[in-house]
Chains A and B, each alone.
Chain A
Amino acid sequence: MRYLGIGILLLLVFTLTVPPVSAQEFNLSGNNEVKWADGIETIGGDQRTKRYFEDRLNIDGYYGNLRLGLRFTMLQPSEFGEEQTGMETLEKRFLEYTGYDGDLYVRAGHVYTVWGRGLTLALMEDIVQGFDSGLDGVHVKGRTEWVEAEAISGRSEAGYLGLVREAQASGAHVAFNLPYNFTLAGQALLVTPVEAVNSYSESRTWGGYLAYSGPVDAHIEHAQEYVSVSDDENRGTYAGFSTYVGKFGISLDYKNYLYYRYGSGLGSGSTYSQSVDVLPFHSAPIVQREFTSNLFGKHPHIVRFEDEVGAQVEVTWSPGSIGTLVLSMAQSSAHETEDAWLPSLKEEDSPYREVFAELQSYPSPEIYLIGWAGWNEELVYYNEGAVRSRVSWNKRTVLGAKTEYTFSPEWTVLVGAEGMNVEEIQIDDSSESHLEALLNLGFIYRANYSVTAALEMTGEENPDENRDTWFNVQARAFIANRHELLVTIGQERGGLVCTSGKCRLVTPFNGVKVTFTSLF
Chain B
Amino acid sequence: MARTGRWLLLFALAILSATPIWAQGIEGKTAPDFTLKDIDGDRISLADLTKDGPVLLDFWATWCVPCKQAMPKLAEIHEDFEGDGFQLVAISIDNTRSLNKVKPYVRSQGYKFPVLLDTDSQVLRKYRGTSVPHTVLVTQEGTIAKVWIGYHPGEEKEIRAEITALLEGGAGD
Q: Do A and B come from one complex?
A: yes
Which residues of chain A have a CB within 8 Å of any CB of chain B? 25, 27-33, 55, 57-60, 62, 67, 70, 72-74, 87-91, 98, 101-102, 112-114, 116-118, 122, 124, 181, 183, 213, 217, 219, 240-244, 247-251, 253, 283-286, 290-291, 314, 316-318, 320, 324, 326, 360, 362, 368, 370, 404, 406, 410, 412, 444, 446-448, 450, 478, 480-482, 484, 500-501, 517-520
> B136-161 interface mask toward A, CB cutoff 8 Å, 1 = contact, 0 = none?
00000000001111101111011000
Q: Is B5 close to A, CB under 8 A?
A: yes
Q: Kindly report which residue of chain B lies nearest to residue A288, judged by CB atoms.
A: B97
Q: Kindly report which residue of chain B lies nearest to residue A501, judged by CB atoms.
A: B97
Please report the C-alpha to C-alpha distance between residue A238 and residue B153 in the assembled complex, in whole angstroms. Answer: 39
Interface residues in B71-129 (C-beta closer than 8 Å to A): 72, 95-101, 103-110, 119-120, 122, 125-126, 128
Q: Kindly report which residue of chain A lies nearest to residue B72, judged by CB atoms.
A: A362
Please report the C-alpha to C-alpha distance between residue A362 and residue B98 in the assembled complex, in whole angstroms. Answer: 25
Please report the C-alpha to C-alpha distance between residue A88 and residue B5 in the assembled complex, in whole angstroms. Answer: 5
CB distance from B26 to the nearest CB of A (A): 4
Which residues of chain B have a CB within 8 Å of any CB of chain A? 1-6, 8-9, 12-13, 16, 21-22, 24-27, 29-30, 32-35, 40-41, 43, 45, 63-65, 68-69, 72, 95-101, 103-110, 119-120, 122, 125-126, 128, 130, 146-150, 152-155, 157-158
Establish whether residues B95 and A124, one from each chain, have CB atoms under 8 Å apart when the complex forms: yes
- CB<8 Å pairs between A and B, sample of 10: A60-B32, A88-B3, A242-B100, A284-B96, A286-B97, A316-B104, A324-B109, A360-B68, A481-B148, A520-B21
Establish whether residues B128 and A122, one from each chain, have CB atoms under 8 Å apart when the complex forms: no
**6 extra interface residue pairs, beta carbon distance < 8 Å, beyond A324-B68, A324-B108, A412-B153:** A25-B30, A90-B8, A247-B110, A285-B100, A290-B98, A478-B150
CB distance from A372 to the nearest CB of B (A): 9
A-B contact count (CB 8 A): 200
Interface class of chain A by DSSP: strand
B13 — which chain A residues lie within 8 A by C-beta?
32, 57
With A113-B120, A242-B103 already in contact, the answer to whether A102 and B154 are too (CB < 8 A) is: no
Establish whether residues A114 and B103, one from each chain, have CB atoms under 8 Å apart when the complex forms: no
- The answer, among A219, A251, A283, A286, for a CB contact under 8 Å with B104, is A251
A117 — which chain B residues lie within 8 A by C-beta?
96, 99
B153 — which chain A residues lie within 8 A by C-beta?
368, 404, 406, 412, 444, 447
